[in-house]
Amino acid sequence: MSSASASSSSSHAPLRVSVLDQTPVPDGIRSAVALRNSIDLARHAEALGFHRYWVAEHHGSPMIAGPSPEVLIAAIASVTARMRVGSGGVMLPHYSALKVAENFSALAGLFPNRIDLGLGRAAGTDPETAFALQRDRRQRSPDDFPKQLDELLGYLYDRLPRDHPFRRLSALLPGSPERPEPWLLGSSHQSAMWAAELGLPYAFADFINPAGAEIAALYRDQFTPSAELAKPRVMVAVSAISADTGEEAERLASSMRMAITLLRAGSSIAIPTVKTALAFLGAHASPQSLPMGRRAVVGDAQSVRRGLEEVAREYGAEEVMVVTITHDHAARLHSYRLIANAFALGQRATVIAPSARATQAA
């Protein structure tokens, strides 16, 4: 399927809109509060009508609190009822394929037809922390992601070869016959080719690599139908911030811009306040052209909707996943509320008031 035909076919159905939560840690706030903020945001996201809610995996970062997506998934699925919940994603090189299969089988058994297993190859951290995550530290783990992925899918779909030494374990997954829906995450040509070869749905991180439209086209062109997926499915994850005015949205985005700019320079910090970020950006000659190398859709609700729709058209995507990072939790909630209203997602339920516990300061 060509990129043009994919865009055309996806335009007949309403664009699905979902949430990618990286569990940002605001400066001056405990990481534990950031985790509770994620639970609070998920409750709001379901009430607002978002389709799915994914949580990320990062390790050893002052910016993001989320090393265990399976733990957050269980907590979020327990306080929601309709929305799909999943990982964006599990960084498979850190783990045994069997352990990931068992964890997500258990989640699928507890929450049938609601669990997604987004899988990634990246470390989600620095090399030193990645090494600390290893059980065996005599040498660094091999780069055998395709083999891990094949074994994991073999457990989930009970299709390990007859002579595989662990074949019997496929029948012993705790959540059977329920299972999660696997997705392959990526931001490169290699991930697109793996997803296409295996017949998996593909989620592309535009917020990391905004030049991914041709990679999504490669995935569609090389897609091989599988028993689980007859046609290619593309979802694109986009950084976005909305506010009542474009000017206020740009102010809020300064926190993300400062954090990402320093991250690219090798320094990871908690998400700074708007005041701190504006002072930092103002010290540069041209703050809007700082070398972020990323795309963010920033503005009032309607301009953000138009921006997200444009990105989805570029990718031929049937779903867009919004990642929003602000220092203020209430501003992040309001941004998602504005986006949901702009897409008319929120007719199914009323908005839940923010919990006092979720927003309390350290």
301 vs 342: CA distance, rounded Å: 6
Q: How far apart, in Å, are the Cα atoms of 183 and each of 191, 192, 202, 283?
A: 11, 11, 6, 42
The SS3 call for residue 259 is helix
Per-residue pLDDT tens digits for 190-214: 999 999 999 999 999 999 999 999 9
E strand segments, 128-188:
181-186
Q: What is the pLDDT of residue 335?
A: 98
In the predicted model, what is the mean pLDDT of the chain? 89
What is the percent of the chain with per-residue pLDDT over 70, rounded to a whole number? 90
Beta strands in the chain (DSSP E): 16-21, 52-55, 84-91, 115-120, 181-186, 202-205, 234-242, 296-299, 319-323
pLDDT above 80 for 82: yes
Which token pair is 266? 């090798």
**Hey, is 157 helix, strand or coil?**
coil
Whether the model clears a pTM of 0.85, i.e. scores above it, the answer is yes
Tokens encoding 341? 């209203």
Query: Which domains does the chain show, CATH number per domain?
Result: 3-356 (3.20.20.30)
The percent of residues above 90 in pLDDT, for the chain, comes to: 78
C-alpha span between 274 and 328 (Å, rounded)? 9
Q: Which amino acid is present at 225? A: P
* Mean pLDDT across 240-250: 98
pLDDT digits (tens, 9 = 90+) for 179-191: 999 999 999 999 9
- The tens digit of pLDDT for each residue in 316-334 reads 999 999 999 999 999 999 9
In the predicted model, is pLDDT for residue 353 greater than 70?
A: no
DSSP character for 171? G
